[in-house]
Amino acid sequence: MGGRKFRMERHRKNEERKIARPSMIVSVPRNAVTLSVGLMTIQSSAPVLHPVVQCQSTDETSTMLVSFPLSAFMQRKITSVDVLLSRLEKISLPSMWVILGGPPLVVCRMHSSQLQTTVLMSVKVTAELQWSATVLDKTVTSEMLPVLGEVPSTISAVTELCRLVDILDGVKLCIGNPDDNIVQLYHSSTYTLHSYSGHQAGYIDTALLNHRETVHHKNCKLIIHPNSRAVRCSACSTYRSTLLTQKWKRANLVARLGNIRTSYRSLLKQLERLRSRIHQDTEVKGVFLDEECNAYIKDIICLPETAKHLESLPEDSFKHIFWQQQIEAASQHSSRHMRWHPLMIRFCLSLRHKSGGAYELLRESGCIKLPSQRTLRDYTHYVQSCEGFSADVDVMLRNAVNVESCPEREKYVAILIDEMHVREDLVFDRWNGNLVGFANLGETNNHLMQLESALTDGNTAPSQAKTMVVFMIRGLFTKLQFPYAQFPCCALKGDQLYDPFWEAVGRVENCGLKVLAVTMDGSSANRKLIKLHNTSSDVTYRIANPYTAEKRFLFFISDPPHLIKTTRNCWHNRMLWNNGKYICWDQLKQFYDMDTAKAVGMRILPKLKFEHIYLTAFSKMRVDLAAQVLSESVSKALVLFCGDECNETSQFVEMMDKFFDALNVHNYSHGSQALKPFQLPYTSREDPRLKWLVECFLKYLEDWERSVVGRSGFSLAEKSNMLLSEETLYGLKMTSSCVSDGYLLKSVKALLDDKAFLMPSASATSALKMAQDLMKWMPSNDVKVKAFQNDIVELLRGCIKPIKLLTSSKKTCTRRRVKMWSSYHVVRTSQDYVDKWMAFLRDSSTLPATQLCPVFFQYVGNQIFRQLVRDECGFSLECSNLGTTEQLTYEELNALRYTAGYVPRALQKKLFKHPRQKDLQLYLNELISDGSEAVTDFSDDWLTAVNRGGLIVVNNMAFELFHTMECEFRHNIQPTGIVDNAVELILNNEDVLFLWSIISNSWDQDCSSELLERMVKLWITLRGFSLCGALMEQYKVTNKITTQKSKAMRKELG
């Protein structure tokens, strides 16, 4: 032990002698690991602040050695403030840091300028070696700067104090709000510096920015996290928003006061002018009323008297509701408080449908109070319109009829099918991202048409619709008129109507209604649809309804107004002949000339006008002109004044008049008032008019055909010109006769997913119950299911054989499609098909046999057939994709920056009533360029050229965000629109999220997310509409057509 103590004491003395020797100073840079000076190397194991090391030179020219390890010197334990001060004097501090003696010891950072020197931050060490840090005389805690929690509260080594100095030297300080306009506002408006409680909310500081004034909030933390990109703390940022809002409000208030002062003076002048004008008009044009007239006008104007008159009307009458609504609307201070009666809404909708301009003129006149166009739009757009069928529309139809409580006779309805021409155009639907305007007749028809187009001309792109097929439900014993579905189409053919037609019948039957008739005009597509159900040459006027178990027929009726028009046109255009005499238009024209020869007004037929005789393309479409020509009075006038040669023409007119009257019974009293027996109401099945249609009218048409066919010396074309057109004859005959895990599992699942079967009708409930029973029964009876499925699939697959043989000839394709649908109709209505389904359902369903609903197996069978059509065609359709990954061109970049500036402006208007409107407005302002950024891609050339000072220019970071959104948008374009989840795809794009995180680094998280979602939705809407316009322009250039309407005749003549 003694030797060991001796050695330790000797080592201590040697160390003291080394320190006392002549030495030199070597400065080691901060965070340095090694330092070489000649052949000397200093090792440092810990990053410190400019340590100064005492070194001894063994060779004054070449070699220097460190006396002791550097880490030991810096980490040696400190027992007092004096020791700490002595050791601090041996190291150099960072720039602008100085040491003030102690105790207490203070190490501070100075900030000097031309005016004065101030202390920015300091570290104070007490005699107990407890430290505290301050920034601008404000104590810094670990809550404000979490990294301070890593330093012990008591200084035990120089490294800990150096660590504190390093932390404070690296912090970012809040710059406050040094804007000149904010500082001026601070000095000029004392009320902006206080909170709502009256306490001071801000102060001015000059110690940071070279003694430039800056405004801080009283709760300013002064310190910002080093990794943050913000330049001010959250308190100062919020205070900045308040100050800018106050500035905007003040400027806006001054402007409003100026405008109010100007308008007040203008109104005073206008009031004086009106008073003088009323006074002059009263003196010149005024009329004195006697006591009786005065009392009468008072009775009308007096509200109690009006109320008494209102009480005399029935409460459920429209007059009572109308006047009650007018009185209530007149008493409201604001139109927003008015609640309109449903009858009033329906009246206004019908009025606006007649003429929107007249409705708005009547509403603005102030004579009566009417709901605004926006209110009516909420009712007309209650259900989102879409192509094809909708379960929501089925529910509305069921509610309109009130199926649960209505009598049985009111469930009988007819389906009206009509095709109308529409202007070719594309519209972007912002709700689902689709481009509306392409032909769409259902998935099966679309697939077949694309297959045909691919075989004939190699083009699989969807065609733009030129017409719209509308399905409408009309009550036979009620006033129900319900638009049910619409399908855009192009060059409609009869076979394409088969699938949507029978789906409409099935859905209406599923609603609890009974479809008894189908009415359509005599177009070629409609006639082919009717003939498709019966390939024989006989007239098809009724077919069995496969969706009913009661063997109810479905009748085809040709539209009588259309028949009367085509009959008149045949009379006008052809040289008709019957029983040896001509039925020609010239005979009517001669009578008209004779009747109008003298201009004294005494005429036989005063209603026969020039428009009835000399037809134009427009007048040929008017039903009233055709009905007035083919009338009883014209028939009798021809017999009486034109001689025997017009007897056949007179009989022809008389027959058509009676036919139209028999099918135009729309009023109980009109027939008796007009003394026309053919327009009396039908009250019996034995009505003589029904017998007349079969025995007289149909016999007249058959005799006419036999008379022309038996005429010799004429060709077939000449004989055809002596008869009514084939289409008109077919329609007349038809209407007259009418008046007298595999496919099965997928199809059952489709029925369970169809919302149309969720309504509480008897057929829908039975079908849904059968589907649920079948899904439970199928897993345990796999052999029976497969056997039945194979039978049904093979039975339906035989109908698809014609489709497999499609060629490049369009006529062949059409014939084979017609043959496919005709074969399918024969199969689905055959007794063998029904028996197979009934036998299968008796085993699988818990319902009794009497409740097995044909709606179920017809729906499932139809789904199987559609799937077979798609699978058996053996052709993969690859539609052209509009999406692109190409880089944007110079022109597109300029258009992108121009359009990007519209987004902040549009959102500023939309967010006017938002609860956090102030914050969102300020965030949007940060997307706008301040003009100091340079644009390197020349994307602002167009914006600079057209900007007159009112356009918004986004900054480079925001432009990069819109550029990324545009690229992602282009990836998600489809031939018929945009993918459904385009918004989610853009919002989840990594590049978009990264750029937005940089832009919104210091923003509120909720506001940031909401603002980004609004920007993406608005951008998709803008690009969707512009995409429609681009496709339409490309279509017009390709087809060399214009879709604009031609000018009206009066404009051309003017």
List the single range of 62-71, 731-740, 806-815 with lowest mean pLDDT.
62-71
| Mean pLDDT value of segment 246-251 | 76
Query: 145, 223 in Cβ contact below 8 A?
Result: yes
Q: Could you give the CA distance from residue 653 to residue 627 in angstroms, rounded to a whole number? A: 10
pLDDT at 975 over 80: no
Q: Could you give the CA distance from residue 723 to residue 867 in angstroms, rounded to a whole number? A: 46
**Intra-chain end-to-end CA distance of the chain, in Å:** 130
pLDDT at 471 over 90: yes
Tokens encoding 966: 């545009």
Would you call 172 helix, strand, or coil by DSSP? strand
pLDDT at 768 over 70: no
Query: 239, 177 in Cβ contact below 8 A?
Result: yes
> Which residues make Cβ contacts (< 8 Å) with residue 273, sequence separation at least 6?
none
Decide which of 1032 and 304 is more confident: 1032
Beta bridge partners of residue 172, listed in sequence order: 224
Q: Could you give the CA distance from residue 1054 to residue 1045 in angstroms, rounded to a whole number? A: 17
Convert 181-217 to b/e letters by CB count within 10 Å (16 or more is b): ebbebbeeeeebbeeeeeeebbeebebbeeeebbbbb
> Which residues make Cβ contacts (< 8 Å) with residue 795, sequence separation at least 6?
827, 833, 836
pLDDT at 289 over 90: no
| Mean pLDDT value of segment 380-389 | 77
How do the residues of the chain divide into helix, strand and coil, expressed in percent and rounded to 5? Answer: 55, 15, 35
Convert 306-327 to b/e letters by CB count within 10 Å (16 or more is b): eeeebeeeeeeeeeebbbbbbe
- pLDDT the model gives residue 1048: 38
Cis peptide before 103 (omega within 30 of 0): yes
- Write down how long the chain is: 1054
CA 779 to chain centre: 42
Cα R_g (the chain), whole angstroms: 46
Average pLDDT value over all residues in the chain: 75
pLDDT tens track for 104-156? 788 888 777 655 677 778 888 887 778 888 887 778 777 777 777 778 878 77
Nearest to residue 156, comparing CAs of 237, 54, 78, 95? Answer: 78
Cis peptide before 483 (omega within 30 of 0): no
Query: 552, 591 in Cβ contact below 8 A?
Result: no
- pLDDT the model gives residue 472: 92
Q: Could you give the CA distance from residue 517 to residue 526 in angstroms, rounded to a whole number? A: 14
Nearest to residue 789, comparing CAs of 850, 848, 867, 873? Answer: 867
A 10 A CB-CB count for 141 gives 13
Of 565-569, 663-667, 906-910, where does the model show the most confidence? 565-569
Would you call 558 helix, strand, or coil by DSSP? strand
**Does this model's pTM top 0.95?**
no
List the single range of 476-490, 774-788, 893-907, 943-957 with lowest mean pLDDT.
774-788
pLDDT tens track for 475-508? 888 888 888 998 998 888 888 888 889 889 988 9
| Mean pLDDT value of segment 46-65 | 39
| Mean pLDDT value of segment 1030-1036 | 74
Nearest to residue 707, comparing CAs of 648, 636, 644, 632? Answer: 648
Output the CA–CA distances (angstroms, integers) from residue 847 to 851, 854, 857, in the order listed: 6, 13, 14
> Which residues make Cβ contacts (< 8 Å) with residue 1014, sequence separation at least 6?
907, 910, 911
- pLDDT the model gives residue 415: 92
Q: Could you give the CA distance from residue 142 to residue 119 in angstroms, rounded to a whole number? A: 21
Q: Where are the alpha helices (DSSP H) in 189-340?
A: 234-285, 291-301, 303-311, 318-331
pLDDT at 192 over 50: no
Q: Could you give the CA distance from residue 702 to residue 706 in angstroms, rounded to a whole number? A: 6
Residue type, 165: V
Residue type, 945: A
| Mean pLDDT value of segment 502-515 | 88
pLDDT tens track for 74-106? 667 777 777 777 777 777 777 778 887 667 788
Tokens encoding 524: 């070629």
